[in-house]
Amino acid sequence: MILSRFFLRALVRPFLAISLSILISEESLPQQKSQKKLNIAVLDFDSRGAMSKDEAASLSDIFQSYLVDAGVFVVVDRSRIKTLMQEVGFQESGACSDVECVVEAGKILKVEKMFAGTIGKVGKIYNINIQMIDVATAQIEINRSRPHEGTIEEMAQTIIPEMAEDIVSQILGRHVNLVKPSGGISWYWYAGGALVLGGGAAAYFFLKPENKTAEKTPLPVPPTLPQ
């Protein structure tokens, strides 16, 4: 009887330990899922020089899309921003170029952080500046500037996404990958090149002269068995 109780306890203890660990992990999951996301809004970038307002607004749309993809923010919809601004008679354009303007807009939108920027062009060089401003303290917490000598299409495809990735990484304190690989030689070019090289090697092997000669050489006649 004593032995049976001993074996029963020996069998039950591991199951109790496993059940306890499962309960602890399940209790910790809601805490991880309930991590508070920052409420943010992205204003239209202010255009300078030869940059048009529509182009600057389009680039700010691209910047916001990468912040949304990060999945760590509650982002105010841009159409909602313009509607709220118009309701309070803020200003016709959704762009702000000074901190006071950005903070006032943030209070109207009831967010914690505001993103604003300027994009200008001098000669052939664009200059992109993006700031993250705390609405409560009116402090510029992040400021990123980057020159770009190239097309506006390159800016939309490369510069703005890279700046968004850099800013999100700084906010989270760890590197995040938001920019999808683009340009350069893709994997399918490698695969296609391998197929072409492989096909060429095979063709060379089967078509080189010695192989043709070998194909024309008749096989030896098998010996005749004795009667």
Cα 38 to Cα 111: distance, rounded to the nearest angstrom:
8
User: Residue 58 has what pLDDT?
Assistant: 94
Cα 118 to Cα 98: distance, rounded to the nearest angstrom:
10
CATH label of the domain that carries residue 134: 3.40.50.10070
Asked, for residue 2, whether it belongs to a domain, the answer is no
Q: What is the pLDDT of residues 109-161, one digit of tens each?
A: 999 999 999 999 988 999 999 999 999 999 999 999 999 999 999 999 999 99
Query: Tens of pLDDT along the chain (227 residues)?
Result: 544 554 445 544 544 444 444 443 444 434 334 568 999 999 999 998 888 899 999 999 999 999 999 999 999 998 888 888 777 776 555 567 688 888 998 998 999 999 999 999 988 999 999 999 999 999 999 999 999 999 999 999 999 999 999 999 999 999 989 887 654 433 333 334 433 334 444 444 444 555 444 445 555 555 555 55
The domain in which residue 140 lies consists of: 38-172
Q: What tokens does 58 get?
A: 């389009």
What is the domain count for the chain? 1
Q: Which pTM value belongs to this model?
A: 0.64
Q: What tokens does 149 get?
A: 């000598």
CA-closest candidate to residue 72, choices 184, 152, 6, 164: 164
